[in-house]
Amino acid sequence: MRLIKQLPDYGPIHIFSPTIWKYQYKFDWQNLEHKVLTSFSQLQHNSLLEKGNAWSTVGLPANEQPHNWLELKDFLEWLKITTTGIAASLYFQKFEFTITNSWINKHSASGETIEHNHNNCSFVASCYLKCPENSGNIVFKDPLEYHKSHWPIFPEEHLYDEVPVYTFDVLIFPGYLKHFVTPNLSNDDRYVLTVNIL
């Protein structure tokens, strides 16, 4: 049992662990760009989660997925250390950093990703390789949505929180957390690396 620290003022008491962790990692986009663009040239079909001018490499064979790229080796070492620390803070009895799959999403003007979650993984890392201004944010849905179904909440938008994101941001969150990406309102492409961690 944890002792909750005395708060200086009255107000909300946040007693449980956070569900989203935000970091910055300086990706070498100049080194990655050719590899990223090449991965999109290999697409056979698009993900059903992408809407408008949006594409995903989620269907590429495992050996061609980004977590196997030499260009991301240093980042993945950082991600392993960071995620292992998060797991320890959540009192995981056992955690072995294992990547199940990874992919890149590309959002051009009006492109977006619809609401979804990630099954069969402990954590998701959403990594913003290139995120131009007004190219969209990520929105999370309250995981207690069903428990709050009897509350007189109106409109339902109150169950959602939008998190601003910028180039080089890395968000780590549980796979069960529902989320979506708002449309790209710029004329520049946005590239996001997603990593599923068991």
The residue type of 106 is K
Domain contains 4:
no
**102 in any annotated domain:** yes
The C-alpha atoms of residue 159 and residue 147 are separated, in whole angstroms, by 11
Q: How would you class 14 by CB atoms within 10 Å of its CB: exposed for 0-12, middle for 13-18, buried for 19 or more?
A: exposed
Asked whether residue 112 is assigned to any structural domain, the reply reads: yes
The whole-angstrom separation of Cα 198 and Cα 189 is 29
Task: Quote the pTM value.
Answer: 0.93
- Which of 119, 102, 122, 117 shows the shortest CA–CA distance to 192? 102
Q: For residue 14, is it within any domain?
A: no
Q: Are strands 138-141 and 160-163 parallel, antiparallel or unpaired?
A: antiparallel
137 falls within a domain = yes
- Asked if residue 132 belongs to a domain, the reply is yes
Q: Which domain holds residue 30?
A: 21-197
**Tally of domains within the chain:** 1
Cβ atoms of 162 and 137 closer than 8 Å: yes
* pLDDT tens, N- to C-terminus, the chain (198 residues): 656 566 566 777 777 878 999 999 999 999 999 999 999 999 988 999 999 999 999 999 999 999 999 999 999 999 999 999 999 999 999 999 999 999 999 999 999 999 999 999 999 999 999 999 999 999 999 999 888 888 887 777 889 999 999 999 999 999 999 999 999 999 999 999 999 999
Residue 1 placed within a domain: no
In a domain, 11, yes or no: no
Domain of 141: which CATH number?
A: 2.60.120.620
